[in-house]
Every structure is written in structure tokens, then in C-alpha cells.
Amino acid sequence: MADLRQGGCLCGAARYEINLDGHQTGNCHCTDCQKNSGGPFMTFTSVPEGQLRWISRPEGEARASDKAVRRFCAKCGTPLTWDGGKGNNNNVSTGSLDDPSGLEISYEIFTDSRWATIPPLAGARQYKRDSAGT
């Protein structure tokens, strides 16, 4: 049975449904995510292509680099997705899920820019750059 959940932005203008079958959840410590979140890292949940369906699509889109498009709610500013254009995964901001219970963080990426006061998460795979090790 599919693990279907919903999520969205703070004001409710952008909403989605996601099938969490085969998901991976991890923390990204890159400086782009630090700036985008205003915090030390962002937590993303990735699912295979086709497992994310927009109920009401966010109007905001931004590129901070050539790597990805970030989608956010233009009304309240909530960061919602990171799309690297690879066509393999949908990446949602885990904090935008209505119910993130049971999602374990299995990896941390870009740990070379982790804040010194944030220790590695016990049990999570650690990557200095991205999960491919680059």
C-alpha cells in the first residue's frame, strides 16, 4: 500500500500530494540551502519521478545557481522543492509535509560547509559534497 501524504506552504496557497514509497530523507548543508532556509541546513525528502503531484502549484521559482530550480510559494515564501533537472527524483522540503512522522534522516550532504556547532547526525551517511561523492 502506498504511503500517500500531503504537504504545502504556510499560507495554504501551494499544496501537493506525495507517494513516499522508496523515499530518502537527508540534510543538505550547502551554502545555498543555508541562505534559502535562513538556518544551518535544509532537510529534503526525495522520491522517484512521478510520485509528486501538485494540487495547487507554487507560483515562485528561483535559480541561485546553474544546479537547480527552487520552487516556493510567492505569497508566503515557504520553500517547497529543489529540482536539479536530472529527471530521476522529486525533492520536497521535508518541513513542508503536513505529517513528516516516521521519516528518518539517512544521509547528510555538503558537510564540508556544515556549521562547526552542528555535529554529524548519528547513523546518517556523511558526504563532503553531494551524495555521489563529488
In a domain, 129, yes or no: no
The answer to the question of residue 49 being in a domain is yes
Any domain includes 133 = no
User: What would the pLDDT profile of 12-70 be if each residue is shown by its tens digit?
Assistant: 999 999 999 999 999 999 999 999 999 999 999 999 999 999 999 999 999 988 888 99
30 forms beta bridges with none
Judged on CB neighbours under 10 Å (0-12, 13-18, 19+), 98 is exposed
Q: 92 in a domain, yes or no?
A: yes
d(CA 70, CA 59): 11
Q: What is the CATH number of the domain that holds 77?
A: 2.170.150.70
Q: Tell me the C-alpha to C-alpha distance, in Å, between residue 31 and each of 34, 126, 131.
A: 5, 16, 16
Q: Structural domain tally of the chain?
A: 1
Residue 127 lies in a domain: no
The single residue listed with the C-alpha cell 548519528 is 122
Long-range contacts of 101-106 (CB under 8 A, 24+ apart): 103/20, 103/23, 103/25, 103/45, 104/25, 105/25, 105/26, 105/27, 105/43, 106/24, 106/25, 106/26
Q: Tens digit of pLDDT for each residue in 85-118?
A: 766 689 999 999 999 999 999 999 999 999 999 9
Q: Is residue 89 part of a domain?
A: yes
User: Does 125 map to a domain?
Assistant: no
46 belongs to a structural domain: yes
Question: What is the domain range of residue 11?
Answer: 4-115
Q: Reduce the DSSP state of residue 31 to 3 states and report it.
A: helix
Instruction: Quote the CA–CA distance of 102 and 48 in Å, as a whole number.
Output: 18
Q: What is the pLDDT of residues 74-89, one digit of tens each?
A: 999 999 999 887 666 8
pLDDT band at 134 (very low <50, low <70, confident <90, very high): very low
